[in-house]
């Protein structure tokens, strides 16, 4: 019995991915657990394994195909002794059609359109985008007018009306960012349109004066997520200076006391079992402060605020090809050594694109540290569905006034970006005060 190998959903939010590589070819015998292909999502590369044995009858989606919808058939797996042409020609053809379809640009086109005939039989026909062949677009007059007023390109829409006609609601739902902006003060707002409809940068530079790097899926995800986060979340910012002297001294003592262990594979020397960084303390202090201020450890939904029970702290990790924020789960229960080791492991695997979606999705709070690059202070964009992100600057020797005298202390400036829908100013400020206390007197985290 021929079975389809389907595009897996690697995470709850995944809609599509890139089939980057086939590790098998047509005619290969496979058994359960064999790696068949590699899928690249916005965040990670994952392997597709065979769940059954048989042989690859037909590869339906070629390697390098971008935007393959979840559940689209990738290949046809045949049982031993089965032949492609004999067994399921129609099924194969239909699968090829739907897979092709899955590559169609308008996102909604992936679902097969099913027509129920009077006889009760069901036939499948591939849906056509409203802009069939790029010539005539079927849209209601009202949809056309609203699209023109809002600067929405009808060719980018798939209609939900009769026979795929674009209707008012399709246009209204198409650019929720534009709509959210333009209804903010009740004005139709052509000035705001300017924000949403940025000009094509290519128009400004002569061809040949630049190299072009097409977006990979991570770049697209960063652009999409951060644009909506920064536009739709009402950010505000709280800044505080923390005196690092006590923390640095404690860190020094702890690192010196680290036992020596074997250097691991290929190394004969002994190395310290751990080397704590300032950032490890910041993650720990954040987790402890989140447990004291649960109002900050929260997420917005349309109907309620979700208060998280654990302190799951994301740590922004820069990659050559973008960035990702893996999460230290239940950081409040973990010691500094454990946090340190976990962040190292997450960062290493992130750079190798080996993180599982469950390791970077969700979380209640994020820390982004650019201190090691000499940045004194910056503001970060909130990482939805979280409500706060802490932007950490470099610790620098600064003059401070103690009892009327100028002294030198190591100060670190942190700025927290806060979603005002969830956390009001004083709540955010109280959280930061606790955070500052933990950083300035690390031992108080033991209280």
Partner 1 sequence: MSESYDVSVVGGGPGGYVCAIRCAQLGLKTAVVERERMGGICLNWGCIPTKALLRSSEIWHLVHRLDEFGISADNFKFDIAKIVARSRAVSKQLSDGVSFLMKKHKITVIAGEAKLAGNGKLTVSKDGQTSSVTAKNIVLATGARARTFPGLEPDGKLVWTYREAMVPDRFPQSLLVVGSGAIGIEFASFYQTLGAKVTVVELLDRVLPAEDEEISAFAAKAFTKQGMKLKTGTEVTELKRGADSVTCTLKDKSGKTEQVTVERVILATGIVGNVEDIGLEQAGIQVAGTHVVAGEYGETGVNGVWAIGDLVGGPWLAHKAMHEGVIVAEKIAGVPGVHPLDTNNVPGCTYCWPQIASVGLTEAKAKATGRKIKVGRFPFLGNGKAIALGEADGLIKTVFDATTGELLGAHLVGAEVTELIQGYVVAKTGELTDSELSRTIFPHPTLSEIMHEAVLAAEGAALHI
Instruction: For residues 410 and 390, give the distance between their C-alpha atoms in angstroms, rounded to a whole number.
Output: 19
Distance from the Cα of residue 307 to its chain's centroid: 21
Q: Does 184 bind partner 1 (CB under 8 A)?
A: no
User: What is the distance between the alpha carbons of residues 404 and 395, in angstroms, rounded to a whole number?
Assistant: 23
Q: Among residues 80 and 115, whose Cβ is nearest to partner 1?
A: 115
167 binds partner 1 (CB under 8 A): yes
| 141 makes contact with partner 1 (CB under 8 A) | yes
**Count of positions (residues) in the chain:** 447
CB 215 within 8 A of CB 223: yes
Could you say whether residue 212 binds partner 1 (CB under 8 A)?
A: no
149 contacts partner 1 (rule: CB under 8 A): yes
Closer Cβ to partner 1, 108 or 275, answer by number = 108
Q: Are 2 and 348 in contact (CB under 8 A)?
A: no
Which residues, at least 6 apart from 434, have a Cβ–Cβ distance to it below 8 Å? 288, 289, 292, 293
Q: For residue 240, which of 44, 377, 38, 36 has the smallest C-alpha distance?
A: 377
Cβ proximity to partner 1: between 141 and 264 the closer is 141
**Residue in 162, 266, 374, 399 binding partner 1, rule: CB under 8 A:** 162
> Rounded distance, CA 42 to CA 20, Å?
12
270 makes contact with partner 1 (CB under 8 A) = no
C-beta of 301: minimal distance to partner 1 in Å?
Answer: 20
Residue 160 touching partner 1 (CB under 8 A): yes
* 214: Cβ contacts below 8 Å, ≥ 6 apart: none
Mark 94-123 with x for binding to partner 1 (rule: CB under 8 A) and - for no binding.
Answer: -------------------xxxxxxxx-x-
Candidates 1, 32, 188, 397; binder of partner 1 (CB under 8 A) is 188
- Contact yes or no for 326/359 (Cβ under 8 A): yes
| Structural contact between residues 306 and 299, judged by C-beta atoms closer than 8 angstroms | yes
Q: How far is the CB of 106 from partner 1 (least distance, A)?
A: 15
Q: Which stretch binds partner 1 (CB under 8 A): 45-53, 96-104, 145-153, 394-402?
A: 145-153
- 105 sits in which H/E element: none
> Could you say whether residue 185 binds partner 1 (CB under 8 A)?
no
Q: Which stretch binds partner 1 (CB under 8 A): 142-150, 342-350, 399-407, 431-439?
A: 142-150
Catalytic pick among 235, 293, 307, 420:
420
- Among residue numbers 118 through 137, which ones bind partner 1 (CB under 8 A)? 118-120, 122
Q: Tokens 């002994």 label which residue?
A: 270
Active site (annotated) includes residue 308: no
- What is the total count of residues that contact partner 1 (CB under 8 A)? 22
Taking the complex as a whole, the smallest distance from the CB of residue 232 to partner 1 amounts, in Å, to 21
Long-range contacts of 216-222 (CB under 8 A, 24+ apart): 216/40, 216/321, 216/322, 217/17, 217/18, 217/40, 217/41, 217/42, 217/66, 218/42, 218/43, 218/319, 218/321, 218/322, 218/324, 219/321, 219/322, 220/42, 221/42, 221/43, 222/42, 222/322, 222/323
* CB nearer to partner 1: pick between 185 and 269: 185
If one asks whether residue 143 binds partner 1 (CB under 8 A), the answer comes out as yes
Using CB under 8 A, which of 39, 44, 146, 154 touches partner 1?
146
Does position 231 interact with partner 1 (CB under 8 A)? The reply is: no
Active site residues: 420
Binding site residues, partner 1, CB under 8 A: 113-120, 122, 140-143, 145-146, 149, 160, 162, 167-168, 186, 188
């Amino acid at each position: 019995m021929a079975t389809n190998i389907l595009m897996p959903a690697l995470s709850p939010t995944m809609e599509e991915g890139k089939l980057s590589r086939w590790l098998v070819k047509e005619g290969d015998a496979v058994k359960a657990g064999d790696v068949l292909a590699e899928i690249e999502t916005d965040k990670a590369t994952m392997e597709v394994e065979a769940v059954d044995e048989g042989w690859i009858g037909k590869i339906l989606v070629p390697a390098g195909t971008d935007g393959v919808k979840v559940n689209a058939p990738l290949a046809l797996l045949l049982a031993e002794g089965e032949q492609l042409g004999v067994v399921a020609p129609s099924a194969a053809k239909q699968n090829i059609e739907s897979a092709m379809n899955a590559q169609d640009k308008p996102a909604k086109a992936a679902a097969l359109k099913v027509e129920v005939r009077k006889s009760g039989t069901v036939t499948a026909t591939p849906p056509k985008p409203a802009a069939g062949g790029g010539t005539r677009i079927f849209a209601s007059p009202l949809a056309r007018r609203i699209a023109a007023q809002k600067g929405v390109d009808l060719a980018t829409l798939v209609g939900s009306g009769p026979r795929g006609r674009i209707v008012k609601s399709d246009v209204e739902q198409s650019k929720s960012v534009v709509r959210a902006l333009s209804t903010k003060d009740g004005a139709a707002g052509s000035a705001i349109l300017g924000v949403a409809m940025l000009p094509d940068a290519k128009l400004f530079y002569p061809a040949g004066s630049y190299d072009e790097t097409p977006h990979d899926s991570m770049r697209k995800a960063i652009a999409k997520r951060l644009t909506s986060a920064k536009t739709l979340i009402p950010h505000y910012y709280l800044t505080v200076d923390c005196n690092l002297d006590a923390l640095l001294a404690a860190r020094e003592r702890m690192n010196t006391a680290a036992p020596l262990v074997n250097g691991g594979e290929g190394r004969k020397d002994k190395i310290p079992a751990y080397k704590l960084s300032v950032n490890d303390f910041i993650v720990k202090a954040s987790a402890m402060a989140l447990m004291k201020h649960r109002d900050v450890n929260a997420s917005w939904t349309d109907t309620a605020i979700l208060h998280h029970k654990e302190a799951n702290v994301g740590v922004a990790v820069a990659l050559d090809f973008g960035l990702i924020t893996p999460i230290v789960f239940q950081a409040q229960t973990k010691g500094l050594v454990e946090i340190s080791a976990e962040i190292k492991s997450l960062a290493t695997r992130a750079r190798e694109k080996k993180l599982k979606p469950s390791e970077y999705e969700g979380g209640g709070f994020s820390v982004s540290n650019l201190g090691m690059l000499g940045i004194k202070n910056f503001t970060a964009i909130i990482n939805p569905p979280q409500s706060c992100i802490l932007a950490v600057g470099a610790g620098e020797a600064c003059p401070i006034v103690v009892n009327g005298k100028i002294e030198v202390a190591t100060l670190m400036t942190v700025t927290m970006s806060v979603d005002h829908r969830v956390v009001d100013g004083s709540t955010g400020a109280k959280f930061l005060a606790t955070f500052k206390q933990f950083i300035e007197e690390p031992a108080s985290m033991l209280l």
